[in-house]
């Protein structure tokens, strides 16, 4: 089941984003993400959070539409995005896209990126998408579509990542090793319509980006 979670961070209202949300089988609003959905005229299946960042008008709008709301205390051990992911998994989500989870708060952005690690370890395909980036965590294999000159970067987040093989890119690698802190994998670019990243051991952040 494809699931889209929308939080209150940066979100570009493109036709692709609208279609992605509209066609999802499960739409979850994380707190103030309801504001994005109201602008897009899309009703979520559920709204989750402590609702400290939602505009009162948005909350009242969806309440009148009888959208299910799961309210948590503001003093809690999990972020709203994390609560949404847990609920999605409990309700049979098998593919998760996170929108509106990046922005000016770097701590929130980093925490949300590392939520992808939790999903990768459960073999749940997941990604974060914003205006310029598509962010993945890779523990085994990833294939991505792109256009020539789209950037693809790989960033080790374990002490060492071994058996790295990159195909379909301007600078391929075969069975390479990168250590955390290395910038060797930054700003590669697509040479073919499909690129792949495979590793034998370790964890990578993989981003597809445009300027």
- Assign 53 a pLDDT band (cuts: 50, 70, 90): confident
Helix axes 106-121, 80-90, angle to 10 degrees: 20
Predicted local distance difference test score (pLDDT) of residue 77: 74
Q: Assign domain 141-209 to a CATH class.
A: mainly beta
Pick the CATH number of 2-131 from 3.30.390.50, 1.10.10.10, 3.40.50.720, 3.40.50.10240: 3.40.50.10240
Report the side by side order of strands in the sheet with 160-167.
141-145, 194-198, 160-167, 173-179
Quote the tokens at residue 193. 């319509």
Q: What's the average model confidence in pLDDT over 34-44?
A: 95
Q: Could you read off the pLDDT of 98-120 as tens digits, one per residue?
A: 999 998 889 999 999 999 999 99
DSSP per-residue letters across 51-100: -SSS-HHHHHHHHHTT-EEEE--SS-SS-HHHHHHHHHHHTT--EEEEES
Predicted local distance difference test score (pLDDT) of residue 78: 84
Quote the tokens at residue 187. 């700003």
Residue 71 near residue 39 (C-beta atoms within 8 A): no
Predicted local distance difference test score (pLDDT) of residue 72: 87
Strand 173-179 and strand 160-167: pairing? antiparallel
Q: Could you read off the pLDDT of 57-93 as tens digits, one per residue?
A: 999 999 999 999 998 877 777 899 999 999 999 999 9
Q: Could you read off the pLDDT of 134-150 as tens digits, one per residue?
A: 999 999 999 999 998 89
Predicted local distance difference test score (pLDDT) of residue 52: 83
Rounded CA separation 205/137 (Å): 5
Query: Among 38, 39, 10, 37, which residue's Cα sits nearest to residue 24?
Result: 37
Q: Where are the domains of the chain?
A: 2-131, 141-209
pLDDT score of 21 more than 90: yes
Distances (CA, A) of 67 to 62, 74, 117, 133, 153: 6, 21, 30, 30, 39
């Amino acid at each position: 089941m494809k699931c889209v979670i929308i939080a209150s961070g940066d979100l570009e209202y493109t036709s692709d984003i609208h279609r992605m949300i509209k066609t999802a089988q499960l739409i979850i609003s994380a707190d103030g993400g309801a504001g994005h959905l109201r602008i897009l005229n899309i009703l979520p299946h559920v709204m989750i959070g402590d609702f400290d960042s939602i505009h009162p008008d948005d909350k009242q709008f969806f309440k009148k539409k009888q959208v299910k709301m799961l309210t948590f205390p503001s003093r809690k051990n999990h972020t709203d995005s994390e609560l949404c992911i847990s609920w999605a998994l409990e309700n049979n989500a098998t593919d998760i896209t996170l929108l509106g989870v990046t922005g000016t708060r770097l701590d929130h952005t980093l925490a949300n990126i590392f939520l992808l690690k939790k999903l990768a370890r459960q073999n749940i395909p997941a990604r974060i998408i914003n205006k310029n980036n598509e962010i993945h965590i890779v523990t085994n294999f990833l294939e991505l579509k792109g256009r020539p000159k789209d950037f693809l970067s790989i960033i080790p987040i374990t002490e060492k990542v071994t058996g790295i093989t990159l195909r379909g890119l301007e600078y391929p690698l075969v069975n390479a090793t990168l250590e955390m802190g290395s910038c060797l994998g930054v700003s590669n670019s697509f040479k073919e319509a499909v690129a792949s990243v495979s590793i034998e051991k370790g964890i990578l952040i993989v981003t597809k980006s445009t300027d």
